[in-house]
Structure 1
Amino acid sequence: MKLFWKIDDLIALITEWVLASGVMLMATLLICNVVSRKLFMKSMASADEIGGSLLILVTFSGIGYAARKGRHIRMTAIFDTLPLKAQKLLTIFISFVTMATYVYVSTIALDYIEYTQMLGKVTSALEIPDWIRAAVIPVGFGLGAIQYLMNIIINIKEPGLYIGTEKPEEGKIEC
């Protein structure tokens, strides 16, 4: 299990790097394109395409990272009123349903990638195979599913309430 957590830490480090550099690169590229359009009256033909690809990369790479940090969207109005043991059981149930959904979406995304490969679709400006842009989608959902599996495991093994796998929910250490 310790090896699993070390691999998880490595994946988190790589994901942080991908997210940070993806956002910085996207911002730099799109700002340069705006400046180029305003000053030189010429737009970079591939800027929107690269920006869109980076947006896909950042969005779907962030799925597992958000699950790890417990920063995903959640509705807590009813959840916060429940006793701690009920919150823990609900967290395990929600993590299981989310994990199963992510696995299902990953398989759909793999089918889509196979379909776009068969069609031979390419992007308009750079003529890169379209399936390459979509390849990050099943990876992101797959990493998210792994994070939710880890969330289930940690909530079963540890006494605290873990919304993400990094630390227990504040003020909710004992069950």
Structure 2
Amino acid sequence: MGRISAQERRGSVIRAAVAEFAITGYHGTTTAMIARRVGVTQPYLFRLFPDKKAIFVAALERSMEDTRLAFERAADGAEDDERALLAMTSAYARLISTRPETLLMQMQGYVTVAAAEARGDDLIGEAVRAGWMRIRGTVHQSLGADADKTASFFACGMLGNTLAAIGLPPGAGR
């Protein structure tokens, strides 16, 4: 078996970071925790990323892109807006039930933005906003560029996210 490339190792670090940050947040996660999960040293982490914030942003971008791709794949080939809506809803439910760290990482990103921007640091906020706009664009196009359907999809989705994050079943919001 050959050596793992820096790009593959970088991907491993990002996956480990998603898992760690999703559980303990930006301030509760150390680079030592991430390095330990991947099986590398902290100095090696810093050969791949300039600092902890860059690792957090990469983890956040990965979780948001995974969500966007789930929507895109689900809606691809749907015969109409209604089928696209159902397919995206089902795909997202599968994603957050099989990989809950994807949702939790995004939630950590949302709550970290305000604190970071209060300190004059807008890098995390820029990543969150850009990722959200890419997700929104995918959903919007999949729903026939209908603003009301898009808003409804995200309103119901955020309710579902909140219920999932606090450990309640999806039907608890009805």
TM-score scaled by structure 1? Answer: 0.35
Higher helix proportion, which one?
Answer: 2
